[in-house]
Every structure is written in structure tokens, then in C-alpha cells.
Amino acid sequence: MSLTHAFFAILRRDLILALRRRSEIANPLLFFVLVITLFPLGIGARPQLLQAIAPGIIWVSALLAAMLSLDSLFRSDFDDGSLEQILLSSHPISVLILGKIVAHWLVTGLPLILIAPLLAVFLGMPQPAIGVLLLTLLLGTPVLSLIGAIGVALTVGLRRGGMILSLLVLPLYVPVLIFAGNAVEMAGNGLPVTAQINILIAILLLTLVLAPWPTAAALKMSMS
Amino acid sequence: MSLQEFFAMGGYAFYVWTSYGICFVVLLANIVLPIVQRRQFLRQLAHKQQRQNL
Amino acid sequence: MKFIPDPVGRFFHRMASPPHFYALTETLMPWLTAIFLIFLALGLYGGLYLAPPDYQQGDSYRIIYIHVPSAWMSLFIYVVMAMAGAIGLIWRIKLAEIVAISSASIGASFTFIALVTGSLWGKPMWGTWWVWDARLTSELILLFLYLGVIGLYNAIDDKRTASKAVAILALVGVVNIPIIHYSVEWWNTLHQGPTVTKMDKPSIHVSMLVPLLLMAIAFKFYYVIAMLQRARLELLQRERTASWVKKMLMEQQL
């Protein structure tokens, strides 16, 4: 089996498995929507205030939702031993792991992007900002999955790994939050956002190339 | 400069001396704690060894 | 290992053997402590007494003699930790693993000191205890990174596995720190605008700079001392069943 085949085989398998457990897809999504609904209730529904903090709220919620969904990335495969099989494969493990991460992003990251316009309207975000929001989510959420995978791989063998996962992962999410949140805010003010978008693309490419390596190493460590 | 003036730090005594105090305590703890813990640990090990030798 | 000449390789292996390390650090400790105390005394004397008050900040600027070296150390120790972790990961040298994890708590302490002193300096300068200044924010995130490393190490029971995990995390962190630092700086210039950032080096005069460098050297020596102390503890705990530990205990009892 060639490497491309193996990659897509893992991708397909993970997607099929995810579709059987729909609640795993729905939970982070519901969390995302719920948290954003709570903000107007907590701070008051003044349109101007909401509009001002909308980019930050949406992105912080996306960060938390992404983190919440991370546990399902390796958990079931770790428990039933199929992760061990993947690690024993003759193909480069980092590529196979990348397949799993892509599948995970398709079922947890992509739905966030699809629901985001609705939430943006809830918060009264101006039209041009919504487009930029979707673009930043499209570029940013894969980064969240890729970086998060390192954290899960390090903690998947632990009984209470969930507690420490947020401490490992959230500080590393800071650059994405800063550039993405700022791009949306600038777009809302009618300012150009090419710089931020370019940086987000650079971060995405960098993590796409680099993140699978430590993830694979950490998984090997967790299995030993 | 008198000693009193020195300790007054031009009116910033609280900020300056609190900073140096906290720094001192934290740094000292980082040296003292491992030494104390090591001594304790060695004592424990010695006890264990004595018991095994009896 | 091919690139390393044999005698050098032997030297490092001997150095890295636990009993040798334990004995060596014991003999080195008084010397290191003496050098540290000399630099500390000179730095404090120069910084607190000899250096004139700043024309803008008065005497409050004297906090930089611990704030700035602490901030430097917090970054420096993270890099050392990642490098030691990488060496432990690649060559499986036990001692490198121990150096890596022993550095973590000291690095976290320096980060904490940098944060607290920064806040104490900021109060008279800005009028509030906390300002989302670029350097303070970066330090705060660095503290979280350190806490993550320490938390991960404590969460894994098998200490050799834990060392590997910590090494991977530290390496990921070291790649990320410049990106985080840059992004925070960028964020700061956008949101704060040209407000007073007096945290930047005050127009620094030689009589102010020399004590700063002396303190920085003193802190470097402090780090070595504190790291070795923790490493000795960590080493004993891991090697509790080794024959050299038993022999040492026997000799002490006689």
C-alpha cells in the first residue's frame, strides 16, 4: 500500500467512525454555540458593546471548543489498541497521524466554521467582518487541531490527562488567537487585513509541516 | 547618604524592598528545599538499609 | 557519535555517570557559592548604593536589577531546558533528563519573580498593579508554559517516560516562544498605542549598566547552584537502588 493510500485509508476510517458517533461531533459545536449565547446574557445585550467584543468572543469560544474536542482524537484508538497498530506500520508515522488529525478537523473544526456566520449575526458583526471571520477560522482551526494533537498525544496515556491538557495547549494557541481576533476586528473597522491573513497562512504551513513530528514522538512515548 | 535615606529609597521603599524581599525568599527556597528534601531522603534510605542489614 | 573524538566522548560519559556527578557537584558547590555571593554583593552594592537615581523614575528603577536579569533568566533557562531535553531524548543520557526537569522549577521561579517585580515597578509608574504590557504578558504566558512542563512531569508516574514527555513539550515550546513573543509584541503596539512604556530600558548610564550585568552574572551562577541542588535530589530519588548510593550510605554510617 502506498503512502497516499495509507493516508486516505486512515482518513476514511476515521470519518466513518466519527459519523457513527455523532454526539462527538455535536458536543463541541453545541458548546461553541452555548458559550457565545451566554455572553450577551452575562454582560448585557447592548449592540455596540457586543459588536466590539464579538471577534474576541467568537475566537476564544472556538479555542475552547477545539480544546474540548481534542480528547476524542486518540482516545478510542488508544483504548482499543488500534493506535498501536498504526505506530507499528512501515509508513512514516507522522503522515498517518496527519491523516487522523485532518479527519478530526473535518468533523470538529469544519462545523464551527459553518455555524460561525449565524453567531456573528447574533452578535451584530458587520458584513465585511463575517467574511474575514470565516477566513480566519478556516486558516486557524486546523492549527488548533495540529497543535492540540501534540498535547493529546502527550497526555493520552494518563488517567487524568484532561486536566493538564488545557495547560499544555492553551498557551500555544495564543498567536492564532491574537492574529485571527485582530484580523476580524480590523475588518469590522474597514481596515486592510492582508498582513494578519498572511501570518496566519504562515503559521498554518509551519504547524502543518512541524506538528506531526512531535505528535508521533509523543504517541510512541505514551504507548511505551 | 545616610542609612535612613538609603532605606527610604526616595519614597519608593515599599516597592523596592518588597521586590527584593520576594526575590530573596523565592530564590532561597529554591536552594534550601532541595537540600532539606535530599537530607530527609538520605536519612530514609539509611534507615531502610539498616533494617535490611539486621 | 562519529563526529566526537573518542577521548571527548569518554570524558562526557564519565562526567555523566551518576556517582561521579554526585561527588563532583559536592566539591564544586562551595566554589560556585563563593563566586555567586561575590557577584551578588558587587551587583547589589553597585545597584542599590552607587548608581544614581534615575532622573525620571527616581529610586524605583532599582527594581530592574532583579526584574531584568530574572526576565533574561526565565528565557535562558527555558532554552537550556529544551536543549538538555533534546540531548536526553537523542542520546538517552540520564543526567541530561535530570538537568532538564531540575531547570523547570527554577525557570518558573524566575518567571514568577519577573512578573511580581514588574508589577511592583509598574504600580508607581503606571498607577496600577497590572498593565497588559508586552513584556509582562509574554512573561505570563511563559509562566504557563513552565507550569505545563512541571504539571506534565508530575502527572506521569514513570520518571523516564515523564522526562521524554517533558523534553518533547519543551522543544515544542521553544519553537513557539519566538512566535508568541512576536505576536504579543505586535498585539501590544496595536491595542495600547503609544502609551508610556517606561518598562523599556531607561536611558541607561554606565554606572547603572554595570550593576545590571553583575546581577545577570550572579543570577547565572545562582541558576547553576540551584539546578545542581535539585538535580542531586532528583538523581538520588531515581537511583535509590543503585549500588553507588548504597555504598555511599554505608560509608556515611561508619
Predicted confidence (pLDDT) per residue in A146-173, tens digit: 999 999 999 998 877 778 999 999 999 9
Rounded to two decimals, the ipTM of the complex is: 0.91
pLDDT beyond 90 at A201: yes
Please give the average per-residue pLDDT across A77-94, as a whole number.
87
Chain C nearest C-alpha distance from B54 (Å): 14
Q: A149-152: which pairs have CB atoms within 8 A and are 24 or more residues apart?
A: A149/A70, A149/A73, A149/A74, A149/A97, A149/A100, A149/A101, A149/A104, A149/A211, A149/A212, A149/A215, A150/A211, A150/A214, A150/A215, A150/A218, A150/C168, A150/C169, A150/C172, A151/A70, A152/A70, A152/A71, A152/A73, A152/A74
Of B45, A154, A44, A221, the C-alpha closest to C237 is B45
Per-residue pLDDT of chain C (254 residues; tens, 9 = 90+): 456 677 777 777 766 788 888 889 999 999 999 999 999 999 999 888 888 887 777 788 889 899 999 999 999 999 999 999 999 998 888 899 999 999 999 999 999 999 999 999 888 888 888 888 888 899 999 999 999 999 999 999 888 899 999 999 999 999 999 999 888 888 887 765 444 444 455 456 777 888 999 999 999 999 999 999 999 999 999 888 888 888 888 887 76
**Extended beta strands in chain C, E state:** none
pLDDT beyond 50 at B13: yes
Coil, helix or strand at residue C115: helix
Chain A nearest C-alpha distance from C17 (Å): 24
pLDDT at C200: 52
DSSP class of C201: P
Residues present in chain A in total:
224
Residues 92-151 on C with a CB inside 8 Å of B are 105-106, 109, 112-113, 116-117, 120-121, 123-124
Residues 186-215 on C with a CB inside 8 Å of A are 186-187, 190
Contacts of B31 in chain C (CB under 8 A): 225-226, 229
Q: Kindly list the partner chains of chain A, i.e. chains with 3 or more CB atom pairs below 8 Å.
A: C
Contacts of A160 in chain C (CB under 8 A): 155
Task: Name C251's Cβ contacts closer than 8 Å, sequence gap at least 6.
Answer: none
- With touching defined as 3 or more inter-chain CB pairs under 8 Å, the answer for chains C and A is yes
Cβ–Cβ gap A214/C164 under 8 Å: no
The structural domains of chain B, with segments of one domain joined by +, span 23-54
pLDDT at A3: 86
CA angle C168, C173, C178 (to 5 degrees): 145
pLDDT beyond 60 at A130: yes
pLDDT at C214: 94
